[in-house]
Amino acid sequence: MKRQPQIPTQGAKAFTLVEMLVVLAILGLLAAVLAVNYTGVLGGAKHKIAVQEVAKLKKLLKQYKLLTGEYPGQQDGLAAITRPIPGQSEALLNSANVLDRWGHQYSYTYPGQQGKCNLACFGADGVEGGD
């Protein structure tokens, strides 16, 4: 008996359409998960930077009080630390506009709790208690 040679079937070494769709679906899900995690990291980083900036501004306000005897008034607000203090050659903060990471004004209140000044950053939406 003589065996007939086997003829290779066409496309035996190729992927089927279903296999390709499954791989694309998995890659799409993976990309979506990574995108969500990445945007969360960026938002968290902005929040951490904002917390550090508020702490820095509070130190500058305390330094202003040491130099002048009191915190800037409600009307002057944070703009007071961007101008030279009488008797000083430079301002405490070399910036004409004091904005948070999201481009909003900080909330400054004086007198605040216990006679101190209150300084707050309201985040991305610029509203107290928001995001």
Check if the beta carbon of residue 82 is closer than 8 Å to that of residue 61: no
Tell me, what's the pLDDT at 35? 82
Burial class for 71, CB neighbours closer than 10 Å (0-12, 13-18, 19+): buried
20-120 has which fold?
Glycoprotein, Type 4 Pilin (3.30.700)
> In order along the chain (131 residues), what is the average pLDDT of each group of 10 residues?
65 80 93 79 75 88 88 85 82 78 83 78 70 57
- What ranges do the domains of the chain cover? 20-120
